[in-house]
Structure 1
């Protein structure tokens, strides 16, 4: 399926795009099933927050309309929205009055091994650290070089995901997922006020857990917390939840709370 740029089929972008020069923009990766974008409200809320934080003026009604029309045409797959501040000449300063550009791309749903969801995954211990920058923390901005470097650290099939820490040593997230621990029936997930990506599946699970009476704590996490965890899982908005069965010398079975939330995540993606 052709990409769209500003609502029209296109196969190229302007060389003056601030996305190419500076990564000046945001993106959302959205699962599409039967023509419907999953977790759309969560994606749009995060996009709106990113626009507010980066001072990007965008027509969110238009974006929603284009997303839904593109998803309907895509059918089943993964829709990527890239929102760029706009085009400009050389220099960091944005062009006065420049309009943001909207890029939509579609691709097939990834064929992850069923064992990832059923038996769990092993995490690789990434040496690449996440820089602490509160102004960008939580946002899905276009500069993902830390994740690129981290993902390049392993090539084997044994590890399906990597674990990333920040420059202070706190456990933050996976390379392309968010991390949850279960301890004594309580859900723990990292505080993302300094760095990391506030995933939409993470947000949805926090909301669903609270509605189900499951205690959730957003806090600083350490490697010691992993040692003390009863269950561990990672999540994102495309595959839902993968139990984590191993990290370094630590091992966990897919636990009851992980499996309960995995079923909830599956429903969220399918409805």
Structure 2
């Protein structure tokens, strides 16, 4: 399988890499169509902003060039980008060396078509997201909360899980962002305390606002979610999945969900 480290083909990684020892880095999962990375600018903007917050001195022009070349070789599938602080000595003190850039190729997940057409059932996860504003929104390498949440169900009935924070507020899916519609208003949870600010989430908010749809980013309680008119989850690989059931509450696929789903599908098919 195609893989590069620091711009060159590679199949191994230094044992001194701080990404292994401390999760000291970030990652992006990017759809590739016809040799082109989808939503490239949003992915690069997120990893750049994340590196700035983590004080990782990333050369953004170099990264863009490598990513474009990698995707041109891959042509079709998924490019996983990992940026770490690079090698370091034992201890938490950040190293002053060059950051490491890792690119790995994968196949596009083969999700059942009915997930997008009919909707999915959400599993209500018991694992809670810790409130950590310093890291909130970042797609950092420590995803143990999601690992534990995903381990809670093995059945095929549930395609995704709902995650809440320690106060019980709705935050996101295990590998997706979440939206709800009530009285024509599109709302998505505030991610200033925890959670991952997805690139598809950002794109959908911008697209919805351009259509004149009222959008809100705010705290959402579980009871409010369960009484919403429409609910859907999204990410940058599959677009939008309508939510069909959660904790015994059933929804049909609503008109706003379908409208935004068509926009997401167009973005991913380009």
In structure 2, C-alpha distance between the alignment counterparts of 1:9 and 1:264, rounded to whole Å: 35
Which residues of structure 2 form unaligned runs of 5+?
none
Matched ranges for 1:234-253 at <5 A:
234-253=233-252
Question: What's the CA shift for 1:270?
Answer: 1.8
Which residues of structure 1 form unaligned runs of 5+?
none
Aligned length: 270
Deviations, residues 126-178 of structure 1 (Å, cap 9, x unaligned): 00000000010000000000000000000000000000000011000000000
In structure 2, C-alpha distance between the alignment counterparts of 1:147 and 1:55, rounded to whole Å: 25
Structure-2 residue corresponding to 1:150: 149
Matched ranges for 1:1-271 at <5 A:
1-95=1-95, 97-271=96-270
In structure 1, C-alpha distance between the alignment counterparts of 2:204 and 2:226, rounded to whole Å: 23
The normalised TM-score by structure 1 is: 0.99
In structure 2, C-alpha distance between the alignment counterparts of 1:210 and 1:45, rounded to whole Å: 20
In structure 2, C-alpha distance between the alignment counterparts of 1:40 and 1:50, rounded to whole Å: 15
Question: What's the CA shift for 1:2?
Answer: 2.4
In structure 2, C-alpha distance between the alignment counterparts of 1:36 and 1:215, rounded to whole Å: 32
Give the secondary structure class of the aligned counterpart of 1:88: coil
RMSD, aligned CA? 0.6
Question: What's the CA shift for 1:94?
Answer: 2.0
- Contact in 1 for aligned 2:4/2:104 (Cα 8 Å): yes
Runs of 4+ in 1 over 4 A off after TM superposition: none
In structure 1, C-alpha distance between the alignment counterparts of 2:147 and 2:41, rounded to whole Å: 28
In structure 2, C-alpha distance between the alignment counterparts of 1:227 and 1:70, rounded to whole Å: 43
Deviations, residues 49-93 of structure 1 (Å, cap 9, x unaligned): 101110100000010111111111111100000000110111111
In structure 2, C-alpha distance between the alignment counterparts of 1:185 and 1:2, rounded to whole Å: 45
In structure 1, C-alpha distance between the alignment counterparts of 2:138 and 2:31, rounded to whole Å: 18
Question: What's the CA shift for 1:268?
Answer: 1.2
In structure 1, C-alpha distance between the alignment counterparts of 2:259 and 2:94, rounded to whole Å: 47
The normalised TM-score by structure 2 is: 0.99
In structure 1, C-alpha distance between the alignment counterparts of 2:256 and 2:52, rounded to whole Å: 35
In structure 2, C-alpha distance between the alignment counterparts of 1:138 and 1:245, rounded to whole Å: 26
Give the secondary structure class of the aligned counterpart of 1:172: strand
Give the secondary structure class of the aligned counterpart of 2:140: coil
In structure 2, C-alpha distance between the alignment counterparts of 1:177 and 1:212, rounded to whole Å: 23
In structure 2, C-alpha distance between the alignment counterparts of 1:269 and 1:174, rounded to whole Å: 20
In structure 2, C-alpha distance between the alignment counterparts of 1:89 and 1:46, rounded to whole Å: 28
Give the secondary structure class of the aligned counterpart of 2:253: coil
Question: What's the CA shift for 1:227?
Answer: 2.1
Deviations, residues 26-57 of structure 1 (Å, cap 9, x unaligned): 00000001111001111011111101110100
Question: What's the CA shift for 1:16?
Answer: 0.3
